[in-house]
Amino acid sequence: MARLELSNLHAKVAEDDGEKILDGVDLEVYSGEIHALMGPNGSGKSTTAKVIAGHPAYEVTDGEVLLHLEEGDFGEDFEIPEDKRTWNLLELEPNERAALGIFLGFQYPAEIEGVTMTNFLRTALNAKLEERDELFEDDDADEEEEEDVGYETSPMEGNVDEGEVGVAEFQGLLQEKMEQLDMDSKFAQRYLNAGFSGGEKKQNEVLQAAILEPSIAVLDEIDSGLDIDRLQDVSQGINALRDEQGTGVLQITHYQRILDYVEPDKVHIMLDGQVVMSEGPELAEKLEDEGYDWVREQVYETA
């Protein structure tokens, strides 16, 4: 089981003397669980997501983001040595964090012309697996490889290299995942995000997470702008991430609505750059009925 641990996390906008946005965030998310992160607009939810992923717009001024891994987290065949089970994510590049199993879906995924969904997803998967191998390579082996530069393959050969997951194998995987998400298989032949509706972009985000099989997926407002049918499809996909592949989901949402379909194991409330409450799913229902005012009152009364 993987565990993402944020402790006393402080962050501000990079190259800005302004106020900190995150003011001591404590939060733990476990693989195999759904954690809802809720809170009023501007409380720091999206910033938390971006800092986890390593977005360069933010500078961490204090605190830690740790990822704890266990043997078996990357499947039975992948050995995780004891000295590589705890990772300080703040020391790693965004792609290295992704390789360790952190997935961040974007609020508005970019449109890239001329790249099909299938190619995009296979490239992303192979890049992740390759980067992960590099992170777990032992350091002696690394040195030997560097001496071998004379035998490096040409850039042309690099281009035709199939990567760890070849075309045929990937087709099978993609089909399986699309069935799991109840998606139309024609979707895979379309160009990345070109002409996708808002709902299709969100489904695409869940499909990416299904293909990459992250330990922890951070989904920021994946429910915004969805009609009820699409909300149900996306929710079913999120449940499948947890149930079929043991992904832990940090589900950021301003509204309680999606939690009718994706029942969280834990609900966290963020206020003014801190997580001020962490409780069970009943907390989301209370927010639905009563809003956030009582939280604010309670927090500042006892402070």
**Phi/psi of residue 62, each to 5°?**
-165, 165
The reply to whether 42 sits near ligand ADP by the rule CB under 6 A is yes
Q: H helices of the chain, where?
A: 45-53, 94-99, 117-136, 139-147, 155-160, 167-180, 198-212, 228-245, 282-290, 293-302
User: Kindly report the CA angle at 223 between 217 and 229, in degrees rounded to 5?
Assistant: 120
62 binds, among Mg ion, ligand ADP, none (CB under 5 to 8 A by kind): Mg ion
> Counting contacts by CB under 6 A, is residue 108 touching ligand ADP?
no
Contact flag: residue 54 with ligand ADP (CB under 6 A): no
Nearest distance from residue 47's CB to ligand ADP, in Å?
3
Answer with the entry of Mg ion, ligand ADP, none that 39 interacts with (C-beta below 5 to 8 A by kind).
ligand ADP
Non-local (6+) Cβ contacts of 56 within 8 A are 14
Contact 51, 59 (CB under 8 A): no
Does position 215 interact with ligand ADP (CB under 6 A)? The reply is no
Choose, by CB under 6 A, the member of 17, 41, 151, 195 that binds ligand ADP.
41
CB of 197 to ligand ADP, least distance (A): 23
Total H helices, total E strands in the chain = 10, 10
- E strand or H helix that includes residue 105: strand 102-105
Out of 36, 39, 210, 250, the residue judged to bind ligand ADP by CB under 6 A: 39
Q: Would you mind telling me the total number of residues written for the chain in this entry?
A: 303
Count of residues that interact with ligand ADP, criterion CB under 6 A: 11
Q: Which stretch binds ligand ADP (CB under 6 A): 44-52, 65-73, 125-133, 287-295?
A: 44-52
Residues within the interface to ligand ADP (CB under 6 A) = 13, 21, 39, 41-47, 57
